[in-house]
Amino acid sequence: MLSTTAVPGISDLPPMQSDSLLALIALADADPRPEKIDVGVGVYRDGQGRTPILRAVKEAERRLWEQQETKSYLGSVGDKRFAELLRPILLGDHAGDERIAGVQTPGGCGALFLGFKLVRSANPDARLFVGTPTWPNHVPLARGAGLELVEYPYYDREAGEIRFDEMLASLGEARRGDVVLLHGCCHNPTGADLTDAQWDEVTRLVAERGLLPFIDIAYQGLGRGLDEDARGLRGMLAACDEVLIAQSCDKNFGVYRDRVGAFYLKAKRREASATAMAHVLQLAREAWSMPPDHGAAAVRIVLEDEGLRADWLAELDSMRERIARVREQLAAADERLAFIADQYGMFSMLPLSRDQVLHLRERHAVYMADSGRINVLGMADEAVDRFVAAVVETLNDPATHG
Ligand code: LMR
């Protein structure tokens, strides 16, 4: 006889809280107030508040459309040439190191997924040291791969400073083989990057203690410059036998929804790196089989063509300059925002409580992450003064201090 005992099914699942950043996009979109300001999700916006397709990418897409003759499979490795062309940009002098292997992934997220899973396969006891705060999606990605997380203090929101001594003390407790997740540049969500001297100190500690550095670099070129932004990562490659890297082109090529990224690993020997990469390809096969082609192919075309590459670099420069300009403008508006000028990339974290963030949303139609993270480029030029006025009003209003 068939058992009648109730078995939980997909209809019995508990409610799930949606990803807060993605939920914020929907909330801001749904607000009918024309003066709304969306400094939530991390997309570049120009002075008019638009996120245009880069000229070089648009032209590459046109050529791709005209010239691509087949959409037959490329395999789990994706577009090999894409990952090769990125190597010198990312790895600098290490580009020729045969112990470093790379593979195309669906965005930086795909690369993080592969890295976390690979760590879990290689050493199930490895713990992941993750800074507080960090990009919110790091946590579910790592947990989903089965890794145990240990938080290390990273940033003091009230003081607007990196908690460097506490960070070192915490990493000093990591065991050999534990993984340290670091943001290559343009720290998300705080904008507070390690100085060169701090990178050197962390690198020494990581190498001495036999830890595995995992560098997430999603904003290369949007901080101080392409090479400057990769300095910390390259220092790790110089000092450590094993390194993992999650790279994203979504921001520096503006191809967000096309999901363009790469995963690189450095192993002790060339053969070990090839074996590890075979594991990576199997993990990719199980998750998405093969990465989407279009965006990576467009990036490849940009990088292959001297003229398009030069145009991309010029657009990247102008994006970086705009970031620095808006940072200066925000910092000059109120002394409590002065720290914004000393940070890099799209984000800063304002010292606002959740109640104050909600007040800004309801009263001023200003949308930022619950953590107080803002995309400094989220607003058009004409909205900057309004944004500052709203933040200052909120900071000054005792009723919002909860
Ligand atoms: C962000 O942090 O806003 C972006 O990286 C978008 C995302 O996927 O969260």
Domain boundaries, the chain: 15-54+317-400, 73-304
Closest CA to 130 of 114, 117, 116, 120: 116
89-124 pLDDT per residue, tens: 999 999 999 999 999 999 999 999 999 999 999 999
- Segments of 253-377 assigned E as strands: 261-266, 347-349, 366-367, 373-375
Closest residue by CA, ligand 1 atom 1: 42
Strand partners, 130: 151
Does position 400 have pLDDT exceeding 90, yes or no? no
**Catalytic residue IDs:** 135, 216, 218, 251
C-alpha separations of 278 from 82, 117, 266, 282, 287 in Å: 19, 13, 13, 6, 14
CATH topology of domain 73-304: Aspartate Aminotransferase; domain 2 (3.40.640)
pTM metric for this prediction = 0.95
> Which residues does ligand 1 sit against, CB inside 6 Å?
21, 41-42, 135, 137, 188
C-alpha separations of 184 from 134, 217, 218, 315 in Å: 12, 5, 8, 21
Give 42 Cα–ligand 1 centroid separation in angstroms. 5
Exposure string of 187-205, with b = 16+ CB inside 10 Å and e = fewer, is: bbbbbbbbeeeebeebbeb
Which ligand 1 atom lies nearest to the CA of residue 188? 2
Strand partners, 156: 161
- Specify the CATH number of the domain 15-54+317-400: 3.90.1150.10
Under 8 Å between Cβ of 342 and 366? no
Q: Measured between alpha carbons, how far is 331 from 342 in angstroms, rounded to an integer?
A: 9
**Residue listed under structure tokens 């053969």:** 271
Range 261-267 average pLDDT = 98
Range 195-201 average pLDDT = 98
Does position 248 have pLDDT exceeding 70, yes or no? yes
Which ligand 1 atom lies nearest to the CA of residue 369? 3
pLDDT at 397: 82
DSSP class of residue 230? Answer: T
Q: Which of 22, 137, 217 to mutate to test the pocket of ligand 1 (most atoms within 8 A of CB)?
A: 137
15-54+317-400 shares its CATH topology with 73-304: no
Does position 71 have pLDDT exceeding 70, yes or no? yes
Does position 249 have pLDDT exceeding 70, yes or no? yes
Q: Measured between alpha carbons, how far is 24 from 12 in angstroms, rounded to an integer?
A: 27
Q: Which pairing describes strands 243-248 and 261-266: parallel, antiparallel, or unpaired?
A: antiparallel
Confidence of residue 1 (pLDDT cuts 50, 70, 90): low
pLDDT at 398: 72
pLDDT at 402: 58
Q: Which of 25, 41, 250, 251 to mutate to test the pocket of ligand 1 (most atoms within 8 A of CB)?
A: 41
Give 260 Cα–ligand 1 centroid separation in angstroms. 14
Does position 362 have pLDDT exceeding 70, yes or no? yes
